[in-house]
Structure 1
């Protein structure tokens, strides 16, 4: 039939998309697949099995110095507020520090911008069982004084930092509250610490520290006050047999700051040092009397007092220092980074 002839002569033409469109299509699908995979990993890791996996990975890593951190359990969000239970810090000889519970509120993705962003770090109890013994590793003399990281800890609070008798010769308990902010052009530190007293617990030490250095705003505020009674934490660690008092204060800005550091030991003047800073160059001038707590050769070499001259220049997290010491019987001249 004529109609059949017409249909028999028809051809089906398939139009294929241009190559560039097909490449874009598959590229888009690949990107979508990667995004979905990342989302699965991000949300999957923030589950109980995922948090267990993270805890295992932390415990499986040991630094070159032999430092190892283990966490018994992680609760909460890995990307915000979380609780670390049964925290144990070890050196090659075993556990030297532990805590039953540490709460951390942080923003881990800030690390991609070289920024450690911790909103809160809270611990009701931390126990220092002994002094750590870490492996010695080669150090780079040209390494910066501070790491190339911006560090923000908005609040650090430790209710009871218990120091075992094996550390200082007798047990101590500290309470610590503070904050830290460090960047290229900023260093801010606030700390309040006190050593608690109790039955069989020697304490009474008090430390307040304020440092606010912002060169771009010509700001430099320093205030340090330490009271360390006989038998307290500082006296035990330093082997002092008399109460120690230290005060560091001053006024001005980053471009021109002047202050003084004074210390007394058992009523005698241990140090009286003038401190000045001009555009990152720090000078220390004055006298110290090490013979008040070091007997024998040191007492004889530094009598009647040891004159001190220290010059330090801060530049991009480095400190270039030169120190001169002299007394009637001693001359020391040293320097370096």
Structure 2
């Protein structure tokens, strides 16, 4: 009888030890998860400080796209998780800088990346200078025309667009506004360009779904003989055209 009681007590102790081990493991795993989550939050907070901004700027300067584009930012002001101001922005190709802006304001939602989406409420530049047309490297890649992630830009605005003489022969200024919504293989884009002093007027509306064999386009353009479009085409006469309709 005594041996039976002792044996049962030993079994209860073993069961209790096993139960305690599982409970302690669950607690420790939970503690580890909380610690890792806290470290991730701290890391994100550190990124939104002056040293964190400098880290982002330095890493961005080391990136080069397949077509040879590189990007430089002097510094980041504001918050990288909402309203951000990018100072002294430059875009480069293999020959150097071809596009610059002293300041670009961006209001975006970085959390949308979790849903595979680039969500920009507003991107605005008071001044943007196109020094010349870029020379892109041929990649030889074949694949979908549109990106695999969604892009939503509610308000694109360039208050003063400056075209250097290397672009169209003489210096020109104007303004550009636009919107873009790219999702599920479909692109809906709207652009309006107006150049100063009786220059070009261009309005574009595009609704295209390449994989769905859909291509709806409406373009209305007026360019004087010394305008941007004739200069890009190598002509010396005015150009007026309207393109509208549905196609494939």
What are the Cα deviations for residues 271-307 of structure 1, in whole angstroms up to 9, with x where unaligned?
Answer: xxxxxx4xxxx3xxxxxxxxxxxxxxxxxxxxxxxxx
Aligned partner of 1:55 among 57, 62, 65: 57
Q: CA deviation at 1:129?
A: 1.2
Offset from partner CA, 1:117-166 (integer Å, 9 cap, x none): 111010011111122223322222xx012111211000000011111111
Within-5 A mapping of 1:99-118: 99-118=101-120
From the two aligned structures, give the one with the greater strand fraction: 1
Of Structure 1 and Structure 2, which has the larger fraction of its residues in helix?
Answer: 2
Deviations 1:49-75, CA, capped at 9 Å, x for gaps: 111111111112222332110100101
2:80 matched residue in structure 1: 78
- What is the CA-CA distance between 1:105 and the residue it aligns to? 0.7
- 1:230 Cα shift? 0.3
Name the count of aligned residue pairs. 229
Give the alignment's TM-score, normalised by structure 2: 0.85
Q: Which runs of 5+ in 2 are unaligned?
A: 1-12, 210-214
1:43 aligns with 2:38: no
Matched, 1:209 2:211: no
SS of the equivalent of 1:147 reads coil
**Match in the other structure for 1:134:** 136
Question: In structure 1, how many angstroms separate the alpha carbons of the residues matched to 2:190 and 2:132?
Answer: 27
The gaps in structure 1 that reach 5 residues or longer are 1-12, 198-202, 215-219, 250-258, 260-276, 283-311, 313-337
- Structure 1 position 228 matched with structure 2 position 230: no
Q: Distance in 1 between matches of 2:196 and 2:225?
A: 14
Alpha-carbon distance in structure 1 between the residues aligned to 2:88 and 2:185: 37
Higher RCO structure (Cα 8 Å, ≥6 apart): 2
TM-superposition CA deviations, 1:215-260 (whole Å, max 9, x none): xxxxx975421001101000111012221111123xxxxxxxxx3x
Point out the structure with max Rg over C-alpha: 1
- CA–CA distance in 2 between the matches of 1:82 and 1:191? 23
CA distance in structure 1 between the aligned counterparts of 2:52 and 2:28, rounded to whole angstroms: 31
Give the match's secondary structure for 1:133.
Answer: coil
SS state at 2:126 partner = strand
Secondary structure (helix, strand or coil) at the match of 1:18 reads helix
